[in-house]
Amino acid sequence: MRQLFWLDFPGWNATIAAHQWPFRFLAPNLDLTVQFHRFAPHDTWMLADGVALLAEDGLVGCVSRLWSEDGKLLATGTSKHMSRPNPRYEEELQRAREMGLIPPEE
């Protein structure tokens, strides 16, 4: 279960990595497919990495991998995200301005 949980997040994180908060769009996960290669139930930590391979026409395709403490590949996941407008964008934009994260509106 822990491996499945950690393979769900890298796709979204890879998608937003190039964008400043607040985000104009959100991308809920439509699906997640996981291939388990081995298990490491006693590892205290795991490394998850992800890449958004393609974002086009409102869909984002992602691949994520999960590694054990000793560098073994534990699982590989693929996910598809659907991009949609962020309904709280204006509210978050105002908050970002108040926090000094972006310049005030001119």
Gap between the Cα atoms of 1 and 6, Å rounded = 9
- Indicate whether 88 belongs to any domain: yes
Question: Is residue 106 pLDDT above 70, yes or no?
Answer: no
Instruction: Name the maximum alpha-carbon separation found in the chain.
Output: 55
**Domain that includes residue 21, residue range:** 2-98
- pLDDT, residue 105, reads 74
Gap between the Cα atoms of 57 and 74, Å rounded = 32
Query: How many folded domains does the chain comprise?
Result: 1
Gap between the Cα atoms of 26 and 20, Å rounded = 13
Q: What is the CATH number of the domain that holds 12?
A: 3.10.129.10
Q: pLDDT for 39-98, tens place per residue?
A: 998 999 999 999 999 989 999 999 999 999 999 999 999 999 999 999 999 999 999 999
Gap between the Cα atoms of 99 and 41, Å rounded = 41
Task: Report residue 13 CA to chain centroid gap.
Answer: 3
- Indicate whether 104 belongs to any domain: no
- Indicate whether 34 belongs to any domain: yes
Question: Is residue 96 within 8 Å of 32, Cβ to Cβ?
Answer: no
